[in-house]
Amino acid sequence: MTAAPYYVDESVTLWHADALDVLPTLAARSASAFILDPPYSMVPNAIRGRDDGAAGTSGAPMRLLSESAAHARRVLRPGGIAALLSDWRRVPDVSYLVTLTGLRLTTCVAWTRTTVGTGGMFRTAWDPILIASNGQPDVVDRAAIPNVITVNPPSKRTHPYEKPPALWEHILRRIPTGLVVDPFAGSGASAIAAIATGNTWLGVEIDERYCEAIARRLEQRVLDFGGVR
């Protein structure tokens, strides 16, 4: 972990570091939300089914998610939420690990796309996002908002698993504003979503290539608004 953040302004703080080095330094009950989209497969391990040729990945250790979720439980304020994006095959494991930390599984949001991915019998066009909370979740109102968000990934990506900011905005708009923590910042989509919804953001990214891409993205946001951050 470096002595100073990679990028800072009044809305965001980005660390170039290992998430498990940064998370223990965060104050207890200081965040309103965690975005947890960890690299479930830690090494290149693509496989194809012998019968149908469908692409997939073999199992990978879940230590990173387990420890990150435990830190989320400590750092989240009462009523705060953790949004965990998961492959459907990992939902039982992810659910179990999260509940072991003391977080409460509250709901699930389906992220659907109009474009399709890989598959055999059916092609993938959705992923589950589990919503866990520190106790009873705080929500801004009781509006009839569906637990489905349809938005496609960006056509031009800076990260292989880049998410659209609108995905995280859909979730963040349902809770009171505060600090949003993303231990696996990737392309910085959650930073853009946090700013758009009136939150502050703290992100961690272990790969400096993506830290640089996030910093450029945030600087462009400043330029787009005429130098006003």
pLDDT of 26 strictly over 70 = yes
Q: What is the spatial distance between Cα 222 and Cα 215, in angstroms, rounded to a whole number?
A: 11
Whole-angstrom Cα distance, residue 97 to residue 94? 5
pLDDT digits (tens, 9 = 90+) for 73-128: 999 999 999 999 998 988 999 999 999 999 999 999 999 999 998 778 999 999 99
Question: Phi then psi for 213, rounded to 5 degrees?
Answer: -65, -40
Kindly state the average pLDDT of the residues 135-160.
94
Q: What is the pLDDT of residue 62?
A: 76
Three-state secondary structure call for residue 40: coil
Whole-number Å distance between alpha carbons of 228 and 225? 6
- The whole-chain average pLDDT of the chain stands at 88
Whether 63 shows a pLDDT value over 90: the answer reads no
Contact 42, 32 (CB under 8 A): no
Q: In angstroms, what CA-CA distances link 2 with 16, 18, 68, 151, 205? A: 7, 10, 19, 36, 12
Binning pLDDT at 50, 70 and 90, where does residue 221 land?
Answer: confident
The whole-number average pLDDT for the span 189-210 is 97
Q: What is the pLDDT of residue 74?
A: 98
> Comparing C-alpha atoms, which of 182, 157, 98 is closest to residue 133?
98
Q: Which residue has the higher pLDDT, 1 or 158?
A: 158
pTM score: 0.88
- The pLDDT assigned to 222 comes to 58
Residues 6 or more apart whose CB falls under 8 angstroms from that of 155 comprise none
Domains of the chain: 7-224 (3.40.50.150)
Number of Cβ within a 10 Å radius of residue 113: 16
- Three-state secondary structure call for residue 217: helix
Which pLDDT score is estimated for 2? 65
User: Residue range 165-171: average pLDDT?
Assistant: 97
pLDDT band at 1 (very low <50, low <70, confident <90, very high): low
